[in-house]
């Protein structure tokens, strides 16, 4: 396993649509392991393959407090959303910044697991936010498109921590 470089906003790879996966290979399994290690190392809750420069439809997410509940989504597709939540959101590809974002509070996603077996998952709250955020990466979109006030609405995480205290 290896920690990969996270691509930063402005990198063209983050604007491209990722390609579907039809077969699992040892290289893709290694990519998934590297993505998880990279996400945990950066203290993130989600990471899309394009964020490490690979245009494949793979997302890893772990919203658990302990960081021990890794979920892998291959070719994820949002099939239902409901409700509304709003709050500050950040991204490993937009380091040290957060922005106020409204998203659905509940999401249903269908995807394939690491063995390319289909599954459906319903998520609420932070999990719904993470699924929606990461799936948008796969289509070449960043969360700043949803930030109230656009890029000008981003604030430093240090300032956000100060305001919360």
pLDDT, tens digit, 9 for 90 and up, residues 23-49 = 999 999 999 999 999 999 999 999 999
> Across the strands, what pairs with 34?
none
Residue 152, judged by CB atoms within 10 A of its CB (0-12, 13-18, 19+), counts as exposed
* Catalytic residue (one of 65, 122, 134, 136): 134
Alpha carbon distance 122, 100 (integer Å): 24
pLDDT over 90 at 1, yes or no: no
- Confidence class of residue 3 from pLDDT cuts 50, 70 and 90? very high
For 125-152, write each residue's pLDDT tens digit: 999 999 999 999 999 999 999 999 988 9
Query: For this structure, is 33 an active site residue?
Result: no
For 91-131, write each residue's pLDDT tens digit: 999 999 999 999 999 999 999 999 999 999 999 999 999 99
**C-beta atoms surrounding 71 within 10 Å:** 21
Domains and CATH numbers, the chain: 12-164 (3.90.45.10)
């Amino acid at each position: 396993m290896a920690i990969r470089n996270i691509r930063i906003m402005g990198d063209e790879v983050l604007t491209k649509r990722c390609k579907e996966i039809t077969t699992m290979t040892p290289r893709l399994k290694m990519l998934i392991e590297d993505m998880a290690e990279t996400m945990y190392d950066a203290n993130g809750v989600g990471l899309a393959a394009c964020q490490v420069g690979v245009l494949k439809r793979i997302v890893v997410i772990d919203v658990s407090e302990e960081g021990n509940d890794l979920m892998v989504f291959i070719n994820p597709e949002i099939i239902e959303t409901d409700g509304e939540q709003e709050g500050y959101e950040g991204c490993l590809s937009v380091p040290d910044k957060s922005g106020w974002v409204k998203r659905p509070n509940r999401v249903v996603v269908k995807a394939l697991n690491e063995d390319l077996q289909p599954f459906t998952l319903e998520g609420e709250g932070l999990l719904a936010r993470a699924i929606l955020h990461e799936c948008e990466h796969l289509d070449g979109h960043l969360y700043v498109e949803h930030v109230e006030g656009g890029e000008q609405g981003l604030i430093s995480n240090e300032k956000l921590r100060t305001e919360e205290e």
